[in-house]
Amino acid sequence: MGLAIPVTFLILFVSMLGVISITYYFAIERVNAGSQVLKVSMAKQYMDSLDDSVLSVVWQSGSSRTMVFGDCGGALNVQPSSNPLIINVIDGSTISDTVFNASVGQTIYELPYSESADTGLYLKGDSRVTMNQSGSVITQLYIQNGLEHPEILLRYRIVTSATTSGIENNKTVNNLRIYVVNLNSSQDIGVMGEIPLRISCKDIENTLTTYNISYQPTSLTVAASLGGIDGQVSIPISSTAYGAIINVKLVVSNVKIERWVR
């Protein structure tokens, strides 16, 4: 009888220790999970801020902006040599030209592990790689599956605009502009932790190609392949019985992302 009481207390003590250990384990796991969710949220905000910085300089040659990309527990990767872009213009008759073929770069933030990273979510833009709407969102900012962890991808899609400007030599003049944001002059960066960045617009290149045709096309297709994803838009073309003049201007803004020494 005298031995039974200490044994009972020993069993209760061990059981209590087990309950405390399990409770502590789940509490720590919950805190860690909450911390990871916070880091993912911070990474989204910093990538959004980086995009805002690019958009603030993109069409202003010589302009620049600085920011500090905070430590969100993952790794920032600026990849100037990735993200190949090919742009073709086609009218289904005699016009079939490649007007751009180069890598335009992209920025990726590799997220820390999280069960709620919202893979597939577009934070800005959508899945289309080319747009023909005035005021279209040129940004593609979304969460995708990386090799090891989910990651936030920032890149820029193609936007076109079209106008007509009267008659020349009895033919309707059509003006098509294709806008490209090119990050391939950026510094190749792969780093964890806090990093100060400088974003600048080095210059803006304009390349004009004119098609003077004697038939009456109804549209011109701008077909793009961005990072292996294809898309196209159809641009209405105005003409007379004598044909049409189509001016295709490629506008390329060369934006550089680099480490900034404060």
Predicted TM-score of the model (pTM): 0.84
Q: Is 187 a domain residue? A: yes
Band (pLDDT 50/70/90 cuts) for residue 25 is: very low
Q: Is 1 a domain residue? A: no
Band (pLDDT 50/70/90 cuts) for residue 33 is: very low
Question: Which of 118-127, 128-137, 151-160 is predicted with the least confidence, judged by mean pLDDT?
Answer: 128-137
> Closest by alpha carbon to 44, among 121, 158, 99?
121
Q: Is 2 a domain residue? A: no
Q: Is 4 a domain residue? A: no
Mean pLDDT (whole number) for 119-143 = 88
Mean pLDDT (whole number) for 111-116 = 70
Structure tokens at 219: 């549209």
Q: Is 261 a domain residue? A: no
Report the pLDDT value the prediction gives residue 24, as an integer from 0 to 100: 42
Report the pLDDT value the prediction gives residue 116, as an integer from 0 to 100: 55
Q: Is 6 a domain residue? A: no
Query: What totals of helices (H) and strands (E) does the chain contain, helices first?
Result: 1, 16
- How far apart CA 223 and CA 92 sit, in angstroms, is 12
> Closest by alpha carbon to 178, among 245, 85, 243?
85
Q: How many domains does the chain have?
A: 1
Mean pLDDT (whole number) for 60-89 = 96
Determine phi and psi for 67, rounding to 5 degrees: -155, 160
Q: Is 164 a domain residue? A: yes
Q: Is 7 a domain residue? A: no
Q: In what order do the strands lie in the sheet with 195-213?
A: 64-69, 195-213, 244-259, 171-182, 158-168, 130-131
Mean pLDDT (whole number) for 222-234 = 96
Does residue 255 register a pLDDT over 90? yes
Report the pLDDT value the prediction gives residue 92, as an integer from 0 to 100: 86
Q: Which domain holds residue 50?
A: 12-19+21-256
